[in-house]
Structure 1
Amino acid sequence: MGASWSKNHLPLDGKTVLITGASDGMGRAAARLVASKGANVILVARSVEKLEAALVELKAAALRPDTQRFHYLTTDVSKPDYAAPLLASAVAWNDDKPLDVVWCVAGTSRPDFWIEAPLSLTRTQMDINFWGSAEMAHAILRLWCGADAPVVPEPKHLIFTSSVLALFPCIGYGPYNPAKGALRALADTLAQELEVYPQNVKVHIIYPASIGSPGFARENMTKPEITRIIEEGDPVSTPDAVASSALRGLESGDYAITTALLGHVFRWGSLGGSPRNNWLLDTLMACLIPLIWIFALPDVYGKIRKYARSHGHPSTYRGKAIEGFAEHQDPATDVGKSD
């Protein structure tokens, strides 16, 4: 599973790429980036207005604007059975040829305490953040790996977008963490399962940290103050920076891709049975990182306990969180975890 640094494992020129969550944030930035590499792109999201604006950006970013093709399809990825008809429309637009890359980016984050929040909030985030990608994976893999699907030397690529919170869950993301953790488990499983099929299909999973996207202001309206304390000092990357870092990992042939230093640390510290990008480096770092947690984890739990002693029962936190947002953030700021 170690990748050759000299080879581009994801050449995009002339390929067709479908991206969900492509109307904002990381998804929109990824769409512009793959267009600049020569790909034909199908954008997927709910908002026609945003998709049409994104389409203009793709045409401006295109490597070969005279020959590249761009299209958008509207859907709600949280709805059951959305993926198969969506892919049928995408393949028909692609002259009935199989898609080359499917990149699942669609997602949302609404932080809260898992115990205090209604269970419906967790179900909603599971529908969007897990099932939105899982349904797409099930539908596209049945197309790519079916008994009558062609066996070709150049691989197809399925890309999941999880979060660093799947590697180190943080207090205040109780309704969000399970979905992103489930994506990790699914990707790890599919990395094994795809070995038994004759078709050449690669699966990848990306773990972004905080992203400067339109979801951040919404996220902070419910984010507990203790969560902001734990996250204090964490850098916020632009969607373009995250998309570029993700694509570099994909071009290197990496399976699990982190886009910031903290993400690299979390990945090394939680490899478990996940596939390795580089057996030597990942093994060495996996031995080192547990030593760092000897110092880091007591600090995290110390902050939580100190906060609990001075702020009382969590049922009182929600109003304080909104007040804290007003104090700590410029309301015009529009950044977010990963949309």
Structure 2
Amino acid sequence: MLHILGLGNSVLSLTLSTLLIAFWAMWPTKKWDPRGQFCYVTGGSSGLGLALAVALTGRGAHVTIVARNEERLAKALAEIEANRQNPNQILRSYSYSLTDPEASQAALGAASEDHDHKYPDAVFLCAGAATPGFFVEEDAKSMQKGMDNTYWIQAYTALAYAKHLARKQTQGKLVFTSSLLGYMSLIGYSTYAPGKHALRGLAETLRSELILYNSSVHIMFPGNIDSPGYEEENRTKPKITLEIESTDRPTAPDVLAKELIDGVRRGDFHIAPDMLSNIFRSSTMGATPHQNVLLDAFYAGIGWIGLPLWRRSVDSKVLGHREEHKEYLQTRDFFKSTA
């Protein structure tokens, strides 16, 4: 009897502790304000990067965007300027190839010159690209390009910024953009999902390391984004992948930009912009910090039931595509090749 009472008291204590943690997580704290902050946005010429730069400008931040295409950069900067809140805001654009480590370092240095050599208060890494296809059709070059355009394009800038934080012993914010495919993956994303998973690993590591410099790390996991990049990737996306995603509606970049800023302001580490990404987040948390214990348990419960059903449905569609896939490979002379 005493054993049962002791167990009951332990369960009651655990329940009360869980509720206290949940309420503490929901308690309002001082939020990050981008007004007057120097914000650096990669991939800022289109899509999420541009929407984010516009939103930050509208909140009174100094904004520098970096991308490769100078023509798109000029158009993007004009759009950003249209959202200027005061004449003192510094709004700039720079053209650099961020898949190169030296160029990534040079871009940060060039941007800092506009601020008396002060590095950004917050770095938002939105650059990236996808070229979906079947893994069996890839080669070493295309696999490397996939990592360049998903992982290294953000990791090089993160490295340059982290070195600055350490050398100057100053604080900052480092914000990665992964993908829902950074939590899971499916057919067609063999050169995209690995880099997005790798970004999560890097962010998890840096969240711990950059505590040394009183700096924060954040990472967002959006689904498909209604952007020029999404239209471009659909050109090479396998038919079966398009079929699996046929019920998904891409999210507008400005909606995701708001979710990203709000997540950073709250101090969220993993930023899941919708219910589906929250289900995957809570179902694959590992040692990732909770946002709200009760909500995370709720999302994880849905995932425990729903995700196996979803995966079974996906596998069924893939198997149903087997004969069509074989015919496709034949038309590409795949079986004749020895490479």
Instruction: Tell me by how many angstroms 1:46 deviates.
Output: 1.0
Instruction: Tell me by how many angstroms 1:311 deviates.
Output: 4.1
Q: Distance in 1 between matches of 2:70 and 2:83?
A: 20
Residue deviations 1:26-58 (CA, integer Å, cap 9, x gap): 100000000000000011011222112111111
Structure with the greater alpha carbon radius of gyration: 2
Q: Distance in 1 between matches of 2:308 and 2:43?
A: 38
Q: 1:19 aligns with which of 38, 41, 47?
A: 41
Name the SS of the counterpart of 1:312 in structure 2: helix
Report the equivalent of 1:290. Answer: 304
Q: 2:192 aligns with which of 176, 183, 201?
A: 176
Does the alignment pair 1:238 with 2:252? yes
Residue deviations 1:248-294 (CA, integer Å, cap 9, x gap): 21122111112233222221221123232233422443244112223
Residue deviations 1:276-331 (CA, integer Å, cap 9, x gap): 22334224432441122232221111111111145436624879xxxxxxxxxxxx
Residue deviations 1:50-85 (CA, integer Å, cap 9, x gap): 112111111211222x11111111100112322222
Q: Which structure's relative contact order is higher, taking Cα pairs within 8 Å and 6+ residues apart?
A: 1
Report the equivalent of 1:105. Answer: 126
Q: 1:193 aligns with which of 206, 209, 232?
A: 209
The aligned runs of 1:176-325 (5 Å cut-off) are: 176-195=192-211, 197=212, 199-312=213-326, 315-316=329-330
Q: Distance in 2 between matches of 1:244 and 1:88?
A: 28
Contact 1:3 1:252 in 2 (8 A): no
Report the equivalent of 2:14. Answer: none
Does the alignment pair 1:67 with 2:81? no
Instruction: Tell me by how many angstroms 1:130 deviates.
Output: 0.5
Q: Distance in 2 between matches of 1:6 and 1:26?
A: 28
Does the alignment pair 1:149 with 2:169? yes
Identity of aligned residues (%): 33
Report the equivalent of 1:80. Answer: 101
User: For residue 277 of structure 2, what is the amino acid of its counterpart?
Assistant: G
Instruction: Structure 2: give runs of 5+ residues left out of the alignment.
Output: 1-20, 334-339
Name the SS of the counterpart of 1:30 in structure 2: helix
Report the equivalent of 1:333. Answer: none
The aligned runs of 1:323-334 (5 Å cut-off) are: none
Contact 2:221 2:271 in 1 (8 A): yes
Q: Structure 1 residues 313, 212: CA separation in 2 closer, same or farther (over 3 Å shift)?
A: same
Q: Distance in 1 between matches of 2:251 and 2:33?
A: 25
More helix by share: 2
The aligned runs of 1:52-63 (5 Å cut-off) are: 52-63=74-85
Report the equivalent of 2:60. Answer: 38
Contact 1:265 1:289 in 2 (8 A): yes
Name the SS of the counterpart of 2:105 in structure 1: helix
Q: Which moved more, 1:293-302 or 1:10-19?
A: 293-302
Contact 1:224 1:317 in 2 (8 A): no
Contact 2:100 2:156 in 1 (8 A): no
Q: Distance in 2 between matches of 1:111 and 1:255?
A: 28
Contact 2:125 2:177 in 1 (8 A): yes
Report the equivalent of 1:93. Answer: 114
Q: What TM-score comes out, normalization by structure 2 length?
A: 0.86
